Amino acid sequence: MMPSGQKRKIYTIQLYDRSMHLGIKTHIMGILNLSPDSFYDGGQFTDLPQVVQKAHQMVKEGADIIDIGAESTRPGSTPVPAEEQIRRLVPVVKRLREEVPVPLSIDTYKAQVAKTVLDLGIHIINDISGLHFDSQMATVLACYKAPVILMHIQGTPRDMQKSPRYQHLIPEITRYLKKGINKALEAGISEDQIIIDPGIGFGKTLAHNLEIIQRLTEFQSLDKPILLGPSRKSFIGQVLDLPAAERLEGTAAAVAIGITAGAHIMRVHDVKAMVRVARMADAILNPQQHN
């Protein structure tokens, strides 16, 4: 854990039309799912007016980034073809780029999807495979000088929760992320355009997820901003014996502890509540900023 008063390292990410400074405060990334089968909010935002309204609501509640996904990556999910993702994403991206003032991220591991949305001015690509699933993704990102979030996953969404095993959890995740970083650098992606995510819930047991949050500071060895995505996930349900709809408090606990362990970005469903959690955690860690 970061000792009280210790500041996170500050990183500057260059986006399409602005800069983003990570580490001064915790950034909240709001989740906007367009897929009908996401584990928590699947099917809630399937028509354009609903999606636009939800995005504006998240901005009003304090979201720093909005992460848009058109393919569920919940355990056991079936891949969605790139063409269908593009069909879902294009009208949404066009509207939100015109209307929403915060950076927009697209959750995809498919290069074809990434290229299409980057042409429309999307700021960040969030790749759950850490550049391991699509050999063209790193080249596309380098061409657009786009920042990328590299996440760790064991297996694929369809099979990742079938008995995930590790000999040495944190070193294995670190090696996987390092391989993704090297792929990015070899393709020409700038060193300071990379964010890492240890992948809570993606090929991990309850014990693995708890250990990742407990030992999150160890990922600072990669010298990259850290994103954490614990929001309403099954490990919280396992601890509290609660369904996804009742995991707000458990999410808040994971977010607060993740911030104390050095996370720069929190990817969440409940923007309003988690902005408040983050502001309080930031104030406790750096009280001099609030005197």
Catalytic center residues: 233, 267
First-to-last C-alpha distance (Å) of the chain: 23
- The β-bridge partners of 32 are 68
Report the alpha-carbon distance of residue 123 to residue 118 in Å, rounded.
Answer: 7
DSSP code for 47: S
The residue type found at 238 is Q
Q: 95 to each of 55, 66, 84, 103, how far by Cα in Å?
A: 10, 13, 18, 13
The dihedral of CA 41, 44, 47, 48: what is its sign?
negative
Report the alpha-carbon distance of residue 123 to residue 150 in Å, rounded.
Answer: 15
